[in-house]
Amino acid sequence: MKLSYHVQSALDYIEAHLKDNISLEDISDEANYSPWHFHRLFFRITGYSVGEYLRKRRLTEACKELVFTMRSIACIAKDYKFESQASFTRSFKNTFQSTPGAIRRSLGPVISFPPLHFHNFNHKGETMITPRFEKKAAFKVIGMQCTSTMNNNTIPQLWEKFNPNASLIPNAVSMCCLGICYSDSSVTPSNNTPFYYLACREVSSITEIPEGMMSKELPAAEYAVFEHIGSLDTLDKTYKAIYDEWLADSGFKQTKDYDFELYDCRFSFGDPKSIMEIWIPISR
């Protein structure tokens, strides 16, 4: 199924459940994505986190009831799943720079954040080559970790710190470096929620870990492997094409809440002919 189907299904689900207790997990299930990857996809396409979009839609519909009904503000707030009238008022004012009471007293204007539809998006994916598929046994890595967010990318600084120390890692199985991106699946993600990135090397043993580093073990999996050619400045476009285009149309799904980058002898920073790989764990 195409990306448009998955995203529109989620948008339709939100509209049908504005007065229900729904979670990111409920919405991402409707789109057939894991919560973390659906949030990344939704934010890239719409420019809003899932929670922000849901809140703005609820506030807009609540605003209509303020103007066109005589129901109490407290009842409206409860219907649209705000904890209290006070929290509803704070959120309303932060979003629309006006209070519910002021809107009701002036009889409008109705403040509008209309529902999004997929045909409203200016979505242009990158053309992707067909990935190769690799089965990789469980493996171990040692490296340095940082936390990053969608709004504050700290990954370049991590590589600056890691690169001079990569040779200190004992029992490395090759000269390749890996960048593993993963999240805490128990935390509801937003564009300010930290996720983890581990700059590392694959090793045969984790009995010796240099000071300031950590180890991680990844399970056996099958991967779709993509090549990114050129500057890292355009890496986000390749990720966008993988997740927004290829994965949505491929008949595969991502099976785990991580992916990783592989940097081998073909990688040369700043070289337009540089090649690195992106490994996505998948299943049909």
Residues 74-89: what's their mean pLDDT?
94
Residue 59 has pLDDT above 70, yes or no: yes
What superfamily would CATH give domain 3-120?
A: Homeodomain-like (1.10.10.60)
Q: Angle between the 50-68 and 24-31 helix axes, to the nearest 10 degrees? A: 110
123, pLDDT greater than 80: no
What is the rounded distance in angstroms from the CA atom of residue 80 to the CA atom of residue 50?
16
Secondary structure element (H or E) that encloses residue 53, with its range: helix 50-68
Beta carbons of 188 and 24 less than 8 angstroms apart = yes
Phi and psi at 37, nearest 5°, equal -75, -30
Q: Which amino acid is at 224?
A: A
Asked whether the CA dihedral 35, 39, 41, 45 is positive or negative, the reply is: positive
Contact (CB, 8 A) for 253 and 32 = yes
Share of the chain above pLDDT 90, in %: 41
Global pTM reads: 0.59
Degrees, nearest 5: CA angle 79-81-84: 95
Please, which pLDDT band fits residue 243 given cuts at 50, 70 and 90? confident
Q: What is the CATH number of domain 132-283?
A: 3.20.80.10
For the cut 90, the answer to whether the pLDDT of residue 257 exceeds it is no
Residue 63, pLDDT above cutoff 50 = yes
Domain residue spans of the chain: 3-120, 132-283
Residue 143 Cα distances to 110, 150, 152, 197, angstroms: 54, 22, 21, 10
Fold agreement between 3-120 and 132-283: no
Query: pLDDT class for 116, splitting at 50, 70, 90?
Result: confident
So what's the pLDDT on residue 185?
Answer: 61
